Amino acid sequence: MITTKQRAFLRGLGNALECVMQIGKEGLNENSMTTLEGLLEARELIKINVLKTCPLTAKEVKNEICDKLNTEPVQVIGNKILLYRRSSKKDFKHIEFV
């Protein structure tokens, strides 16, 4: 669980990020969950774009990803989702909270 100050810090970092994945008309499937798992291990903080053709809303997508992948929701604005999960890699420069 992250604190509100940590969440605010992550939101600031997320402003400069580009979307690394789009969720479209197929919604969340096994393949997209595997891709998200790899992205979270590689980056820790990711931004996802939920397209208008997606059968789920951005909040529903966020809830499903957080439940299945054990991530921390940082922010949902419109169709953009910002998620955080600390990487389990040893030789990795982790996001350091101030």
Tell me the per-residue pLDDT of 58-87, one tens digit each, with 9 for 90 and over: 999 999 999 999 999 999 999 999 999 998
Q: Looking at beta carbons, which pairs linking 63-66 to residues 24 or more positions away fall under 8 Å? A: 64/28, 65/28, 65/33, 65/36
Position 78 in a domain? yes
CATH code, domain with 41: 3.30.110.60
- pTM of the full predicted structure? 0.91
**Total domain count, the chain:** 1
Position 93 in a domain? no
Tell me the per-residue pLDDT of 8-48, one tens digit each, with 9 for 90 and over: 999 999 999 999 999 999 999 999 999 999 999 999 999 99
Alpha-carbon gap, residue 24 to 61, rounded angstroms:
11
Position 98 in a domain? no
Cβ-in-10-Å burial (0-12, 13-18, 19+) of 52 comes to: exposed
